[in-house]
Structures are given as C-alpha cells and as structure tokens.
Structure 1
Amino acid sequence: MGHALHDRVAVITGGASGIGRATAVRFAEEGADVVIGDVQPGDETLRLVEKAGRRALYVRTDTTLEADCDALVAAAVAEFGRVDVGVASAGVSSAASDADRVARLESDAGHVTTLSTAAFQRVMDINVTGVMMTSRALARQMLAQGTAGSIITIASTAAKIPIAGAAPYCVSKAGVWMLTKVMALELATTGIRVNSVGPGFTTTPMWDVAEDSPSHQWAMSITPMHRNGTPEEQAAACLFLASDESSFVTGQILHPAGGQFTD
C-alpha cells in the first residue's frame, strides 16, 4: 500500500464495477477514503475499499439526474468533510445491452440511418450530460472549499476513432474529451485540475467478448500490443492524474490503450 492519496477523499461514479471499482480499490490502497456513486449496488466495492483499510460510503446515484449528482457530492462532504478527487466513470456503451452492442458492431444494425433518436439521446444523457453534472458538482465543491483538487473523466480511444455502428458511444466520448479540455481551461488558475483517461479495449462488463469473436479480432487488429487492458491498468492512470505526481498536468488525456495511438 502506498501513500499517494494519503487521507484524501475521492468520489467515484460508476464505482460498483469495472474501471470504477478498480479505481476505488487502488485509491484506497494509496490512502484515500472513497465515496461510490452508482445505480448498481456497491457492496463489493465497499468491502474491497474497507479491506484496504480505508473508509467507504455508497450513495445510489443516477448521473442523468442533476439532483443525484449534487447529492452525491453533498453526501461525501457530510461524511468526510470535503472532496479532493473526483472520477466520473459512470457510462454506457449503448442504450442496448452489451451483448446487443457487440452484435451491432458486427453488422450494420447500429448505423446512424437505422438509429433511433431515443437510443442516441440516452447515451448522451449518461455519457456527456451525466459527466458534466458530476464534474460540475465536484468543481463547485472544490471551489467552495478553496482547495486544490483533481477531476478525472473517463473517455475512450473512441473519442478519436470513428467506429461504424457505434455513433452514440463515439460521439459521447468525443464530447467528454472536449468537456474535459474546456473545464481544464476554465479552472486552470484555481488549483483544480481536470484530465481524462481514454481507455482502449479493457476487460470489463462493457467489453466482455470471446477471443474468437469478430469483435475481438477487429479490436486486436487496431491494438498493437494484441491484448485487452485490465481495469487495474486504467486505475493506475487515474491514480497518476489524481496524485501530486501530475501537479502540472491539466487538460490532458492519457490513453492506456496498448499502442492504439503512437503520435
């Protein structure tokens, strides 16, 4: 266990599973108390954080609701007195189930010409507006405290790579990346840093595909390291951006993505 986040308070949306859970555990191992916001039960994440020797709080949070985003941060302050770090990890790949999404990537069923407006809007509501409202609530609290802080959004390599059949996801993640840059500029003189992690293909409930599937084979064709990443590898990138090791870094996106981008 390290001390990179000793006695800091971190709020993580989407912390019940995947990258959010791994980040919560890593932050706890580095000395942070953690507040988990998710629509899914957070019992397992709470157990792992407490196993790491830190305090944990779960707040049921629907990030598409402004009141929930504000209440999550308020609950963190009520329990721990302040917020030092925020990770906006809640997101979806599509309005459909993950299995349906993979099937659509292997056909033309998800193309814009056949895409419903409601399905597109649902992804925007969660992935863009939800991240904005989460980040806004975090920034407002940090400003009220008068303290420095770090806000980390979770984007994707899909913020920069167009994927046929995945317009809602690609557009939403590009929006997250631009939101991150704008907020970083707006807050640059306050001590509040805003950065993004843009994962490549990572083994999570959102990307759980068989190695012999066309989707996996395509993914590996654009991943030079020819493997999926792990949630723990994404959490390590979040830790860097959350810690003082990145004190002069803002408005940037890190891509733990197995070499998808080499420029």
Structure 2
Amino acid sequence: MPDATPALLMYAAADVARVAGDHALRHFRSALAVETKGDGSPVTVADRGAEEAARGWLAARFPHDGILGEEFGTTRPDAARRWILDPIDGTKTFVRGVPLWGTLVACVAGDEVLAGAAYFPAVGEMVCAAPGEGCWWNGARARASDVASLGAATVLTTDPKFSHRPDRRDAWRALEDAALLSRSWADAYGYLLVATGRAEAMVDPIMGDWDSAPLLPILEEAGGTFTSWDGRRTAFGGDAVATNGALAEAVRRTLHGT
C-alpha cells in the first residue's frame, strides 16, 4: 500500500499491535521458560510468537515494507517504509505476572514516524496516533494533563535504580524530589499514562528503537512532548523524556540541574 494515508497506517499499527498483544496474552501467567539474551534482557516463547504473528499480519498486507523487530531483526532493510515491532515491552513485568506490559508498533519512513500504537492487552487499553490524526485511547481522544506545577505532578520511570545508567540516577532523584508523586513498574505503560493525562512525566535513561518509535506521535498528538534526554525531538535518541505540554521545560531543567 504505497499510498496509504496517515489514518490507514494508524489503524494498521493498532491492528497489528492487537494481533501480537493478544497472542502474547495467551501465555500470560503461564509456566514459561525464560531465556537470557546477549544484552542480559529476558525473552520467552511469548515474545517470539507474538512477533511472528505480527510479521505474518504485515507480510499479508504490506508485503513490500521492511520490518525491524526486537526478536528477529531486520527484513527488507532497503524498503522505503518499515514497521518497528516490540512484541512484549516489559518482559520482566510479563514474566512476574504484572499486567502493565504492552505491545508496541510504529510505521516509519527514514526517521519520520508515520504512525504508532501501544496496546496493553492485560488491562484492556489501546492508544494509537499519527501526525495530524490525533491520539486515540480506546476509541476516544486522548489528551495530556494541563498540570503546570512540578510540585503537583506525578513522574514515572521504569527502573528507579537506573541500573543501566547509574550516572543518571541523581537526575531522576532530583525529579522525583521536586514532584508530588513518583512511581515505577512503568515501561511503555508510563508513556500511556502521560498521553492520557494520568501522569505528567515519564523518563527512561536507555531505550531501543522498538521501545521509543511508537511513542513520539502518541505523546505529541495528545498535546505532550517526547524528546531525548538532551532535548532533541526524536524517536531514535536512545533514551526518552516524555511530558505534558506545560511541564516540558521544568522537567528538563530539573533533570539537567539547571
């Protein structure tokens, strides 16, 4: 579908996220063997099966597009348009029986994200977006909060120990000290909470492309911001800071101690 509209790509991203997420859900809270990948992260048959389901769906409908998936790498790397898949974002959460894991899907052309979707099947939440098409949460328009004081904000992260980037641990502590509330167990669910007005900021010190690519249009179309830690508007920065619109500068100043 070379001339697919932004709306069609948004709905396609949501559909493929649902296919993969529902496949993973069938394994949730079951006895699974957990393997450790080369980067130290866990993987299960649920991750691999969910990505295979997503790849099959895309091959049938977008046969000329490329695919980058966390578990099976790159297909058709020279394609003008590609799909980026994270079949289970939050595998550590998944294997512990906590329902805040999700499936992430982005459609991109170069560094431009054409559409993104994040599906959380264990809690029944879907959010999807495309530039100019809005951000949609279970069929209703999603909007970030209008909280304008960091002292009234809820801030989130995945790992408060910042195990992968201990050099940024003090930055997180400064942010949570300035905020009203701080919470973890977040993974991609934290970005959903910001996009839907239930939290004001979510930060991660390290992100893969499959973690971050869907999130930029979701946050921006909801009225929020999504950048790298150094403030660049990018879906491929290797880390992430998401905020509502009102607190973008305050969050970044706090993280950088300025």
The structure carrying a bigger strand percent of its residues is: 2
What TM-score, normalized by structure 2, do the two folds share? Answer: 0.29
What TM-score, normalized by structure 1, do the two folds share? Answer: 0.28
The structure carrying a bigger helix percent of its residues is: 1
